[in-house]
Amino acid sequence: MAKSIYTKILNDYLNYSKYEFSEIDIKLVEKDKAQWMTDKLFRRKFRKTKIYENTYNDILGKIRLSVDKNLPVHFTIIFGGYKHFWNFSYPTVDWAELFNLKFMSEFVAPILAIHKPGVVLDYASEDVIITKMNNYPKQSLDKYANSFQILIDYYSERMPKNFQINYVRTGDKYDSELLFRKIDEKLDDRRKDWSKLTSKQKEINLKRSNRSFMFKGEVDYSDLNESGKNKLIEKSKQIENLFYEIEDELIDGYYYEGTHIPIALSWGLSDENFDHWLTLGSVSGSSVDFWIGRGILEIRDDKLVPRVVSHSQYEKIKNNLITVEIDLPLKGNFKYLEISKEQLEFKK
């Protein structure tokens, strides 16, 4: 009985919700369609930072260009392209990715309703660097990409015809071997620069890398001592920084030129987001990246609240979750869903 009830609840939730125009919306569209579309992209439910003037003006310009040329509004979500190894779902997608797809369809719903060419949404996977940087097995990255594409195909069947969702492996857009050569050529100089940092600066830089490196992955480093592991993590961070610099040269402005609007997730909250790219959550109530976290469902006042929880958050709540069987035409990690019937609150 529970299986059929929760399956129906999820099916209803996943169905596309068309944007409903208010009288104020209609007046604002008549006044300036492009500005109305832009304003809708900064709704508080979705963004995780304040509105920066340069970000707003950049997006407004791209929306105007899309409207004037009758082109789709084109978003690129830049993300890791893997499932974190802490997660039982590794190496394939789980409810976190599906909940993010739903969240993004709600995000672009006003544009789909008013702009006939609609929206193109690229999930831009940077998995080209993940094996070299964080030691993930190449095979696990292929499995993740394949599972995400299957999920996109399933979810797209529920969407309007003017909403195109793509899975893009950014390494296919340039010579990845050239990328690796350039990184190797500059790595020694980057190590020298690294040695000049203070201990505090190193600690700040390594915060994310400490959690991301897979010691038993493509190569088995699990027997290394603490010093050896620390050197690998430092190298991982150096490679990451070089990757961002070099890929930007090779990918020829794909993320942000023309009508392309880049979207950041948790990275956008860091000091590294110099250009203040539009920063969204994975879902409304979570800032944890969907490829890092685990998707669960919270039931709050008879409403469904999708959550993406981190490793530490999951450890705190796992004993209070119930697991229900779900009957959707998806395999793998979608046969069961963990549910919290208590309101979840995590201290920052």
Asked if the model's pLDDT at residue 204 lies above 80, the reply is no
**What's the pLDDT at 348?**
58
SS3 percent helix, strand, coil of the chain, rounded to 5, is: 50, 15, 35
**What's the pLDDT at 300?**
83
**DSSP assignment string, 32-72:** -HHHHHHHHTT-TTTB-S---HHHHHHHHHHHHHHHHTT--
Question: Using one digit for the tens of pLDDT, what is the confidence trace for 229-267?
Answer: 999 999 999 999 999 999 999 998 999 999 999 999 998
Ranking 47-56, 88-97, 204-213 by mean pLDDT, the lowest is: 204-213
Ranking 10-19, 102-111, 152-161 by mean pLDDT, the lowest is: 10-19
In 3D space, the residue among 63, 126, 52 whose CA is nearest the CA of residue 277 turns out to be: 52
Question: Using one digit for the tens of pLDDT, what is the confidence trace for 206-227?
Answer: 776 778 999 999 999 999 999 9
Question: Using one digit for the tens of pLDDT, what is the confidence trace for 235-245?
Answer: 999 999 999 99
Q: Tell me how far apart the alpha carbons of residues 306 and 300 are, in angstroms, rounded to a whole number.
A: 10
Asked if the model's pLDDT at residue 1 lies above 50, the reply is no
- Mean pLDDT taken over the chain: 93
Q: CB-based contacts of 109: which residues, under 8 Å, 6+ apart?
A: 16, 17, 18, 19
**What's the pLDDT at 347?**
64
